Structure 1
């Protein structure tokens, strides 16, 4: 009889525990993580990178565990530095976020300035985290709650390969004379490779509005100085969705100027001579999503590997070469990964 009552009591206790578990979503389901997001303004590289991260999280079975709340998604718009700084502070003051994603140089600088040294921060699509001073070195971010994806040799390789192929004497670069402006043109890498390879770097630092007319004025100034090649930076004037980029590329071709597009394939297909093939977003998404998963599982951001080296792939446009009178070496054509035989403008471009 005693044994019977003990069995009854055990069954009753099990029923109570089962009821508690069923009634408690926090216990019955896996934890939902909350991730904030901040960018300086709308830009294709940021949106494509974020989507690649989400796609990779989905493939790994993690996206359903993560919420990207709308009230923690900030994109104040370009040239609104005070608002960007304010929104960065708001994100860092919240206690309901498990991680914050920062996209781009401006947003990363703002979020680090507002850092609470508790909420994990992952930065992506940053021009050069080392030259920007965001990280201590390629091996150490220097900040316990911060990490970033970086490819330390990508931008120096651009200038190096461009000079190997075109053998120009005077490379022109334009940029706003600000921290971010110098990064968008990779000025540090350009100066370093110019010194190593022995070409002259012609600089125009009076870009203010980043408009098409502003940049054309800078390019004309550099032509007067003897520029015989041009590096296309990541300024708003070269963003097809917000500027009539064709006006600049057509002008450069009319002047017979070889160009290297920092943003890659899209610009090359649309009228630049060459560049690296467009970012492999699936690779980038996988690298960043693994960072996020590692952090949410308990690893410190500072302990993670930040270096994601990718072999450069060349993009080249034959029609542009013909228009500017450049005869590409056979070795270049054989090594090119993306070869465009004509100029094709993006369908979603802005036409002024």
Structure 2
């Protein structure tokens, strides 16, 4: 199937129309001291470890170093940090004249509901009594949901959420609904992915695995892909797999069971964000789909195509998001209200494909897709023996 090539100039024009007028104004991101001489105290809050959180935070810090908020020497420590906690440990030792990453201001719930309530209560107590933090980085949907509230007024920068709007973190793409809250939004990210997948594969029945909860529906992008299914006339075949309140092994087992069930019912699968689907488990979880020659499109853009998904949108690094978060953080610390800063940042629209996967399942990838892809892979990698951070 031949796809139309869209002019880069036209794409830029459309993007410009989506941006607010002040997005074109010259911004000042240069560092300033707190009250003219002190350091800004920064905290970190997450629901648990997830593959994106450490690299997103590293990218944010890299941009802060470029802007002068932190000394570049932080890069040496970050180079070996593999998860959020080790990244935070590096940051607490960072050399900066402007920022202090507070050692005891790190919260994680380890994806456990009971710990989540306890961590939230602990944060709220600190935010309303000690009031010793100037900004908190909130990584992921749980973190955004927990901190996007008027129960406190500490500035919150929500990073790496799958759908800040549907999950209730923000009021709209244009307005967070809270003066102290900012969350990056790409309101049509998953709809664009599924449209592209449908144009290439032409499936009639698309399989989707998700947890039947507000967070699970958000992670799977159901609010976006449901309308696309109705518009394009294909059927969504869903399978429920829990990821919260269960062990890691149980989460992975639930996804495997769903893939075994869906493989007999669908002609394509959209691999969504799920705690059970991670770098170590993906090879095993894709086996039922390979057995039935099912094409797959991964919502995630980190390791999935390398490990056996046929395609995804490209994300060679996290620089584009890290720059956005760092510059937003700089603007907040320089005095802008988080609510007044544009939240919209569209994902890059480049594609990654794995021709080894296509060959294995007997699917003919269109020549235009291969030639236009930012990255084309020719092997399927086995990550099962490599370290991994699982989460959501």
Could you state the TM-score of these two structures normalised by the residue count of structure 1? 0.86
The structure 2 residue matched to 1:77, chosen from 80, 88, 110, is: 110
Using the TM superposition, give the Cα deviation of residue 279 of structure 1 relative to its aligned residue in structure 2, in angstroms.
6.0
- Partner residue, 2:89: none
- Checking the alignment, whether the CA contact within 8 Å between 1:84 and 1:107 is kept in structure 2 is no
- Partner residue, 1:23: none
Alpha-carbon distance between aligned partners in 2 of 1:283 and 1:149, rounded to the nearest angstrom: 12
CA 1:199 to 1:28, structure 2 compared with 1: closer, same or farther past 3 Å?
closer
Aligned-partner SS, 1:70: strand
Aligned-partner SS, 1:44: coil
- Partner residue, 1:271: 308
Which stretch shifts more, 304-313 or 75-84?
75-84
The structure 2 residue matched to 1:167, chosen from 186, 191, 202, is: 202
The structure 2 residue matched to 1:291, chosen from 311, 315, 328, is: 328
Alpha-carbon distance between aligned partners in 2 of 1:331 and 1:49, rounded to the nearest angstrom: 31
2:352 is aligned with 1:335: no
Using the TM superposition, give the Cα deviation of residue 204 of structure 1 relative to its aligned residue in structure 2, in angstroms.
1.3
CA 1:292 to 1:30, structure 2 compared with 1: closer, same or farther past 3 Å?
same
Using the TM superposition, give the Cα deviation of residue 110 of structure 1 relative to its aligned residue in structure 2, in angstroms.
1.1
Aligned-partner SS, 1:238: coil
- Partner residue, 2:255: 215
Alpha-carbon distance between aligned partners in 2 of 1:180 and 1:73, rounded to the nearest angstrom: 22
- Checking the alignment, whether the CA contact within 8 Å between 2:354 and 2:378 is kept in structure 1 is yes
Aligned-partner SS, 2:349: coil
The structure with higher relative contact order (CA 8 Å, sep 6+) is 2
- Checking the alignment, whether the CA contact within 8 Å between 1:34 and 1:67 is kept in structure 2 is yes
2:381 is aligned with 1:348: no
Alpha-carbon distance between aligned partners in 1 of 2:208 and 2:242, rounded to the nearest angstrom: 11
- Checking the alignment, whether the CA contact within 8 Å between 1:271 and 1:344 is kept in structure 2 is yes
Aligned-partner SS, 1:68: strand
Alpha-carbon distance between aligned partners in 2 of 1:149 and 1:45, rounded to the nearest angstrom: 15
Count residues in correspondence.
Answer: 321
2:174 is aligned with 1:139: yes
- 1:291-312 deviations in whole A, cap 9, x for unaligned? 1111111111111011112331
- Checking the alignment, whether the CA contact within 8 Å between 2:124 and 2:152 is kept in structure 1 is no
Alpha-carbon distance between aligned partners in 1 of 2:181 and 2:291, rounded to the nearest angstrom: 46
- Partner residue, 1:260: 297
2:346 is aligned with 1:309: yes
Aligned-partner SS, 2:41: strand
Alignment of 1:100-249 (within 5 A): 100-113=136-149, 115-207=150-242, 209=246, 211-224=251-264, 226-240=265-279, 243-249=280-286
Using the TM superposition, give the Cα deviation of residue 47 of structure 1 relative to its aligned residue in structure 2, in angstroms.
1.1
Alpha-carbon distance between aligned partners in 1 of 2:196 and 2:297, rounded to the nearest angstrom: 10
Alpha-carbon distance between aligned partners in 2 of 1:333 and 1:279, rounded to the nearest angstrom: 17
Alpha-carbon distance between aligned partners in 2 of 1:110 and 1:245, rounded to the nearest angstrom: 29
- Checking the alignment, whether the CA contact within 8 Å between 1:38 and 1:74 is kept in structure 2 is yes
Using the TM superposition, give the Cα deviation of residue 29 of structure 1 relative to its aligned residue in structure 2, in angstroms.
7.8
CA 1:104 to 1:87, structure 2 compared with 1: closer, same or farther past 3 Å?
farther
- Checking the alignment, whether the CA contact within 8 Å between 2:148 and 2:170 is kept in structure 1 is no
CA 1:87 to 1:41, structure 2 compared with 1: closer, same or farther past 3 Å?
farther
Using the TM superposition, give the Cα deviation of residue 116 of structure 1 relative to its aligned residue in structure 2, in angstroms.
3.3
CA 1:118 to 1:349, structure 2 compared with 1: closer, same or farther past 3 Å?
closer
Using the TM superposition, give the Cα deviation of residue 164 of structure 1 relative to its aligned residue in structure 2, in angstroms.
0.8
Alpha-carbon distance between aligned partners in 2 of 1:222 and 1:27, rounded to the nearest angstrom: 55
Alpha-carbon distance between aligned partners in 2 of 1:279 and 1:181, rounded to the nearest angstrom: 26
Alignment gaps of 5+ in structure 2:
1-32, 71-95
- Partner residue, 1:49: 56
CA 1:137 to 1:155, structure 2 compared with 1: closer, same or farther past 3 Å?
same
Larger radius of gyration: 1
The structure 2 residue matched to 1:318, chosen from 328, 344, 355, is: 355
Higher helix share: 1
- Checking the alignment, whether the CA contact within 8 Å between 1:88 and 1:110 is kept in structure 2 is no
Alpha-carbon distance between aligned partners in 2 of 1:338 and 1:50, rounded to the nearest angstrom: 24
CA 1:28 to 1:156, structure 2 compared with 1: closer, same or farther past 3 Å?
closer
